[in-house]
Chain A
Amino acid sequence: MQAETFYYDNKIVRNFTVATIIWGVIGLLVGLWIALSLVYPEMNLASWLSFGRLRALHTNGAIFAFVGNAIFAGIYYSLQRLLKTRMASDLLSKVHFWGWQLIIVAAVITLPLGITSSKEYAELEWPIDIGIALIWVIFGVNMFWTILKRRERHLYVAIWFYIATFVTVAVLHIVNNLELPINAFKSYSIFAGVQDALVQWWYGHNAVAFFLTTPVLGLMYYFVPKAANRPVYSYRLSIIHFWALIFLYIWAGPHHLLYTSLPDWAQSLGTVFSIMLIFPSWGGMINGLLTLRGAWDKVRDSAILKFFVVAITAYGMSTLEGPLLSLKNFNAIAHYTDWIPAHVHIGTLGWNGFMIFGMIYYLMPKLYKTSLFSEKLANAHFWIATTGILFWALPMYVSGWTQSLMWKEFNPDGTLVYGNFLETVTQLIPLYFTRAIGGTLYIIGMLIMVVNIVRTVSTGKLVAQEEASALPLSSTEYKKVKGEHWHRWIERKPVQLMLFSIVAILIGGIIEIVPTLMVKSNIPTISDVKPYTALELEGRDLYIREGCNACHSQMIRPFRSEVARYGEYSKAGEFVYDHPFLWGSKRTGPDLHRVGGKYPHSWHYNHMLDPTSMSPGSIMPTYEWMYTSDLNTEYTTAKLEAMVSLGVPYSADYIANAEKHLMAQAEEIAAELESQLTDVEVGPKEEIVALIAYLQRLGIDIKGTPSKHTEATVAGNQTAEK
């Protein structure tokens, strides 16, 4: 049989690699900016530069722009070579590349403008979500088409990881972004409260699993053997790693919701599967590290191998830490504290970042048919970045433990030692500063890489079309040989492999999600819990716009320390009208679930304008723009109608008079503010009034003394009165 000559598309790999570097630097600079703004709150210079909005830009940038482009670069490089064929369609590759960059640009524009759905790592609004889905499908089609026209019979394990990534991310993205649009920039999650929380963290955890882990493991199984020039330590182990990992990961999400109002059985399920995850994860880590058997001497000189070794070690550390954090006793301490970002950054800076850097140093000289400009600079990058990770993570561990201990410390008489939450914040500022130094070092390392790569590229020329040759796959090889092993059949048939992966991930998803969808009818309802008034709903949307949930939780866990600090613990039935849920995942500031009625309106008015006026030393940003811009009530009726179609029992009468009701409540608050404050004129249409209305409503329904405004929402509504 005649060998066929064909050409690998290196240009698409180069493009994704360059995008990785550019967006990586930008995404991490945004991270550094917000890290510093926790030390110097005056850095919240404008609405679009405030912490709550930029935090989402940083996380999305790091995950989808930096790691996203890197995995596409790695997949396009390795897929062609593992299958001995060019990507099936140059057009699809191009559309994928430019479409993905366009999505990133859309995120860079919309997130600082406060256009967000508030769900972590899924903040982008619905038109962009649709764009992501389309581009993702194009990527999938291109990948499968390439697989189908391959010249290599076997699918190497890396490709299995790519396939699982494609199908799972598609499922997760679609389900978690099921939203009811109000206009082009605003939508409401179709799920509410507990259900929304479960769907979100089923998504959120699996974004970590199937966007930051499985594709990167695929890259590990390709690039580590390449760089070490020896096959993976145990191919058998890699197959167990694959099936066990994708099957277990999909169940682990509820460990983000321990001690919350999520049903106990779902919490336990999350914990059990998280603990089991240690085994495949460590199997994978050991497999990666032992691939360097007999090549450890190379690690001394090779920056690429150094990056890979630390990356795999960081993978091992965070996949041990993750399961431990999902134990209730650990979680009770760690949740809502800085321990969690520390854990996350071991994963992103260590595992993702270092795998990517190693891959870039490997790829760019190859693509430009030259050698790396300076191995010394690459080694310098390695050491500076490693130091950076330590400076980032260690202070945050200390910060997390400090927070937790201070939150839970009691006096002998049973009162909290640090009853003022602020004391537990000011204590941490030196640690936040040290963390910012770590981030700076990490970015300096990246800039050294930029110089090194630019110099490397200038000495070579892009081999856009790289010639290769291989024997074609004859059709006879597709026929079943008598007595062959059944799994061969899957390996030869990528479509079947995809179906098996879908089944594996759907089993977990379905068993976990379906009962929670049943929760709607099974949730212990609280008859006193009523829908938000029109003004409060608008205020809630402002709370979402400003990303308040990035620093404030709305979920009081049933601990003595939390009940003493915040009040009655949160019940599932209190969130039934919360589209989306706003439980948050971090307490940089205090929990707000029972903040309603805790302070007079004037306190909030002063506090949001200048937080230090009410809480000296506070690191909260100012929200001064809410005092000069008027509330947009153009969509209020549409919002209420959308809520009705999602099952919130506003009466028809209320919706018809929404504007009137909204103004009545706003005028009442404005008048109260003017009576409490001296020499201040408060316009009822100011945004701050709506926000105060929302904050004052939080958590008060169970006290059973609804205001006349609250009563009005369901007045004349038979179903609500039943």
Chain B
Amino acid sequence: METIDGVSIYPILSFLIFFTLFVGAVAYILLKDRKSIEEISLLPLDNDKDFSHEETK
């Protein structure tokens, strides 16, 4: 494998890409406002309203 030109760049590159992505994801999460997070996390439960709507009909 030493015969591949610049093979040593691969692990460094992989680490940098991962690190950047990870920091980006964390930053995004920390910066996102609480209200919209709560709103989205309630989405699966939201539909129960539709259920009751249908059931009471």
> Footprint of B on A, CB under 8 Å?
78, 81-82, 84, 152, 154, 156-158, 221-222, 225-226, 229-232, 235-236, 239-240, 243-244, 247-248, 251, 263-266, 268-269, 272-273, 276, 466-470, 485, 487, 504, 507-508, 511, 515, 518-519, 522
Contact = CB atoms under 8 A, between A and B. Distances in A.
Binding site secondary structure of chain A: helix
Contacts of B26: 240
Contacts of B50: 81, 84, 468-470
A511 B11 CA distance: 9
Contact of A511 (B10, B38, B44, B53): B10
B29 A522 contact: no
B10 A158 contact: no
Given A231-B45, A269-B10, A518 B4 contact: yes
Contacts of A158: 44
Nearest to B31: A485
9 interchain residue pairs of minimum CB distance: A263-B1, A235-B41, A468-B50, A231-B41, A156-B43, A243-B25, A81-B47, A522-B3, A236-B29
A522 B6 CA distance: 13
B4 A468 contact: no
Interface in B15-51: 17-18, 21-22, 25-26, 28-33, 36-45, 47, 50
A276 B32 CA distance: 25
A575 to B, nearest CB: 16
Contact of B4 (A466, A507, A522): A522
A231 B44 contact: yes
Contacts of A236: 29-30, 32, 37
A610 to B, nearest CB: 45
B13 to A, nearest CB: 7
B10 to A, nearest CB: 6
A269 B14 CA distance: 9
Nearest to A264: B1
A632 B21 CA distance: 54
Contact of B7 (A152, A221, A515): A515
Nearest to A518: B4
22 contacts: A82-B43, A154-B40, A225-B44, A226-B44, A231-B44, A235-B41, A240-B25, A247-B21, A247-B22, A248-B18, A265-B10, A269-B11, A269-B14, A467-B53, A467-B54, A469-B50, A469-B53, A504-B21, A511-B10, A515-B4, A522-B3, A522-B4
Contacts of A504: 21
Contacts of B28: 239, 485, 487
A260 B23 CA distance: 34
A466 B39 CA distance: 25
B50 to A, nearest CB: 4
A156 B25 contact: no
A467 B41 contact: no
Given A243-B25, A511-B13, A522-B1, A265 B40 contact: no
B46 to A, nearest CB: 8
Contacts of B22: 243-244, 247
Given A225-B44, A504-B21, 8 more contacts: A81-B50, A157-B40, A236-B29, A239-B28, A243-B22, A247-B21, A247-B22, A268-B11
Contact of A251 (B14, B29, B40, B42): B14
Contacts of A469: 50, 53
Contacts of A248: 18
A265 B37 contact: no
A152 B1 CA distance: 51
Contacts of B43: 82, 152, 154, 156
Given A243-B21, A265-B1, A518-B4, A487 B14 contact: no
A466 B54 contact: yes
B41 to A, nearest CB: 4
B54 A232 contact: no
A154 to B, nearest CB: 5
A230 to B, nearest CB: 8
Contacts of A519: 1
Contacts of A157: 40
Most chain A CB inside 10 Å of its own CB: which residue of B1, B11, B37: B1
A522 B3 CA distance: 6
A158 B54 CA distance: 25
Contacts of A78: 44
A21 B13 CA distance: 45
Contact of A239 (B3, B7, B21, B25): B25
A264 B40 CA distance: 44
A265 B3 CA distance: 12
A401 B26 CA distance: 40
A225 B45 contact: yes
Contact of A231 (B25, B42, B54): B42
A543 B21 CA distance: 45
A265 B7 CA distance: 9
Contacts of B37: 235-236
